[in-house]
Amino acid sequence: MITSNPPFPVNSYGPDAVIMKDIDGLNWNLSEYEKRGGYQALRKILVEGMSPEDVIAEVKKSALRGRGGAGFSTGLKWSFMPKGEGQKYVVCNSDEGEPGTFKDRDLLRYNPHIVIEGMAIAAYAIRASVGYNYIHGEIWEVYERFEEALEEARAAGFLGNQIMGSQFAFDLYAHHGFGAYICGEETALLESIEGKKGQPRFKPPFPASYGLYGCPTTINNTETFAAVPSLILEGADAYLSLGKPNNGGTKIFSVSGDVVRPGNYEVRLGTPFADLLEMAGGMRDGNDLKAVIPGGSSMPVLPAEVMMATDMDYDSIAKAGSMLGSGAVIVMDETRCMVRCLLRLSYFYHEESCGQCTPCREGTGWLYRLVKRIQNGTGEDGDIDKLLSLSDNIGGRTICALGDAAALPVKSFIEHFRPEFEYLIKYKKSQVESI
Amino acid sequence: MTDRRLLSIKAYEDIDKEIAKYPVERKSSAVMAALAIAQNEAGWVSEQVVEDVAAYLDMRPIAVWEVATFYGMYNLEKTGRSKLAICTNLPCALQGANKTVDQLKAKLGIDFNQTSSDGAVTLKEAECMGACGDAPVVIINDREMRGKIGVEVVDSLVEELKLR
């Protein structure tokens, strides 16, 4: 059982929370979810009658974009599914292992039914009869809780045959990972459900035409599904107006690093970064902000002055030179050595490369060894250029995005903090204190 | 399956529940869960475990080996009574994970991938566990996550694990 943390005040996720509204850490079960209006969106669709096309049109109109990293239009993704008969699947990607990201864990342990309801609505929209939720193996207790929630939903008739007296049938199961970051990549995840090594597939074909067991499949992130019930219930316009055009709704940001209160905060898309930082209690020990990775470790790092002028939505962060990604905000203060921070990330990508593509398998190791020798004072003139050249030769040359994810931090850390790399090569010691 | 002896009846029942999640002709989808169930009971994924799981799921042993060696949480060697995995990735490092690691190594008298002389604890370095808000984070024997493991709680954690 999950024993840590709760209960906590119901407004802990922020005053504008929608997905995590009224969550206190204890009220996760079905009866509590129904008291919060749970399963009313599914009822609206099945009993009042919305066609699958109506649902997809509503999701498109809301400007809900994928919460896992790529930020692709959810409604558009659903519309790619073939309309004909035959087995189709809906899959939830809860394999949350992108360093800095810890929102899906809270969603699944404190509000699991909102994910179940969102998946059921998606299944109805894309005409799938079976779904799987792939849960990160490291959060075993959360996996067990999700199984409990599934049992509740089955017993209450929200899963199974003739849901709410309709002809809609949907079965949903949980599948756990066991320690492989790459399975957060959607086609690696499908391979993993099929009982194989999690090695990404070539795309195309995309999962909508060739997915799980070769059948048409839609895969979305946990938070994306969790956004769907309120979107359907309140309407696309209301959802869209929570955020800004092309960036509908609220987003859970996982704030970690040198802040007073690391944690998850659900805010309207378009909220200034400065406000988010304040919700997290501001900078720890009164130190100055130095750098922020705004969207998980795979996204480019940005310097303090850029972040302080940026709003937290897909388009604003892209304009600032990074990506919103998974919404993992890693905050680093003035005491941090940027070379050492990059070293740990480079080790991660080297460790987690699946080994399938040569540029990534060999290149991530090479990146790590180069950053390591700079960091430990044995770097040579030309190493920085070598790192940049190597990064350019990995990015875009692999089956999946892990190669790019390894290259982007290297390029951005050098772009914004090059003097720290140069200082280390010249003086054999760090310009600043280390982590 | 009455002649099976390697795992308990309960373990095979649990594996059957996993098999039931997938289409009948897709039993191999249960391989990750089956190996995790076996590891939880037997402590590690031995050659016998791989062969037993392969036979139970109608898979070739090499296909099960591929899975067991690809995913980082399977123990391919015996561990101490507790396997203590600590994340040292950037968000955990920013909360002092490296100091926790130094203290753990000193207290246990071991390095990563070693087992304390009393057989109580095997220490592992791990990657992101998806719980960075509670950094530094550890996992005990795959299933028990603990957060906010700063240097100040290392002694009591080690004492607790030595009593297990």
In a domain? residue B4: no
B111 lies in the same domain as B132? yes
Q: pLDDT tens across A302-341, in order?
A: 999 999 999 999 999 999 999 999 999 999 999 999 999 9
Average pLDDT, chain B: 96
Residue B81 has pLDDT above 80, yes or no: yes
In a domain? residue B147: yes
What is the average per-residue pLDDT within B139-146? 97
Q: How far, in Å, CA of A373 to CA of A361, rounded? A: 19
B57 lies in the same domain as B99? no
Domain CATH for B48: 1.10.10
State the pTM of this model.
Answer: 0.96
Instruction: Provide the H-helix boundaries in B20-108.
Output: 31-42, 47-56, 61-70, 90-94, 97-108
B32 vs A192: CB contact, 8 Å cut-off?
A: yes
Per DSSP, what are the bridge partners of residue B86?
Answer: B125, B138
Task: Say if the ipTM goes beyond 0.85.
Answer: yes
In a domain? residue B3: no
* Chain B (108-147) residues lying within 8 Å, Cβ to Cβ, of chain A: 126-135, 139, 142-147
Task: Give the contacts of B81 (CB within 8 A, at least 6 positions apart).
Answer: B119, B120, B121, B161, B164
The reply to whether A26 touches chain B by the CB within 8 Å rule is: no
* pLDDT at residue A6 in the model: 82
* pLDDT at residue B113 in the model: 97
B21 vs A136: CB contact, 8 Å cut-off?
A: no
Cα B45 from chain centroid?
10
Amino acid at A356: Q
Q: Which of A256, A284, A337 to mutate to test the interface with B (most CBs of B within 10 A)?
A: A256
What is the average per-residue pLDDT within A28-46? 97
- Comparing CA positions, the residue from A296, A420, A297 lying closest to residue A348 is A297
B102 lies in the same domain as B137? yes
What is the average per-residue pLDDT within B56-81? 98
Q: How far, in Å, CA of A15 to CA of A9, rounded? A: 12
Using alpha carbons only, what angle is made at residue B15 by residues B26 and A352, rounded to the nearest 5 degrees?
75
Q: How far is CA A295 from CA A69, A267, A324, A326, A409, in A?
A: 8, 15, 4, 5, 11
Per DSSP, what are the bridge partners of residue A171?
Answer: A130
* pLDDT at residue A181 in the model: 96
A336 vs B94: CB contact, 8 Å cut-off?
A: yes
In a domain? residue B35: yes
Q: Which of B17, B32, B141 to mutate to test the interface with A (most CBs of A within 10 A)?
A: B32
Element (H, E) at B87: strand B82-87
In a domain? residue B77: no
Answer with the one of B17, B40, B70 that is the final residue of a domain.
Answer: B70
B90 lies in the same domain as B153? yes
B156 lies in the same domain as B98? yes
pLDDT band at B2; cut points 50, 70, 90: very low
A180 vs B23: CB contact, 8 Å cut-off?
A: no
Min Cα–Cα distance to chain B from A197, Å:
5
Q: pLDDT tens across B86-124, in order?
A: 999 999 999 999 999 999 999 999 999 999 999 999 999
B66 lies in the same domain as B110? no
B93 lies in the same domain as B153? yes
Q: What is the percent of chain B with per-residue pLDDT over 70, rounded to a whole number?
A: 98
In a domain? residue B2: no
In a domain? residue B44: yes
Q: How far, in Å, CA of A5 to CA of A20, rounded? A: 16
B91 lies in the same domain as B157? yes
**In this complex, which of A139, A192, A336 lies closest to B131 when CB atoms are compared?**
A139
Residue A158 has pLDDT above 70, yes or no: yes
Residue A348 has pLDDT above 60, yes or no: yes
What is the average per-residue pLDDT within B44-57? 97
The reply to whether B23 touches chain A by the CB within 8 Å rule is: yes
* Chain A (249-278) residues lying within 8 Å, Cβ to Cβ, of chain B: 254-258, 262-264
Q: How far, in Å, CA of A290 to CA of B36, rounded? A: 42
- Residue B76 is classified by DSSP as S
pLDDT band at A434; cut points 50, 70, 90: low
**In this complex, which of A100, A196, A354 lies closest to B132 when CB atoms are compared?**
A100
Q: How far is CA A68 from CA A46, A76, A282, in A?
A: 28, 16, 26
The reply to whether A102 touches chain B by the CB within 8 Å rule is: yes
Q: Which residue has tokens 């207790």?
A: A141
B117 lies in the same domain as B145? yes
* Chain B (58-97) residues lying within 8 Å, Cβ to Cβ, of chain A: 59, 63, 66-67, 70-74, 88-91, 93-95
A chain contacts of residue B144, beta-carbon cutoff 8 Å: 140-141
B100 lies in the same domain as B151? yes
Average pLDDT, chain A: 96
- Joined tokens for residue B24: 């009948």
The reply to whether B5 touches chain A by the CB within 8 Å rule is: no
A chain contacts of residue B45, beta-carbon cutoff 8 Å: none
Min Cα–Cα distance to chain A from B118, Å:
26
- Comparing CA positions, the residue from A69, A324, A314, A347 lying closest to residue A185 is A69
Residue A148 has pLDDT above 70, yes or no: yes
Number of domains in chain B: 2
Q: pLDDT tens across A80-127, in order?
A: 999 988 999 999 999 999 999 999 999 999 999 999 999 999 999 999
A chain contacts of residue B59, beta-carbon cutoff 8 Å: 195
Range of the domain at B104: 82-163
pLDDT band at A2; cut points 50, 70, 90: low
Residue B79 has pLDDT above 80, yes or no: yes
B139 lies in the same domain as B119? yes
B59 lies in the same domain as B105? no
A102 vs B147: CB contact, 8 Å cut-off?
A: no
Q: Is the peptide bond before A205 cis (omega within 30 degrees of 0)?
A: yes
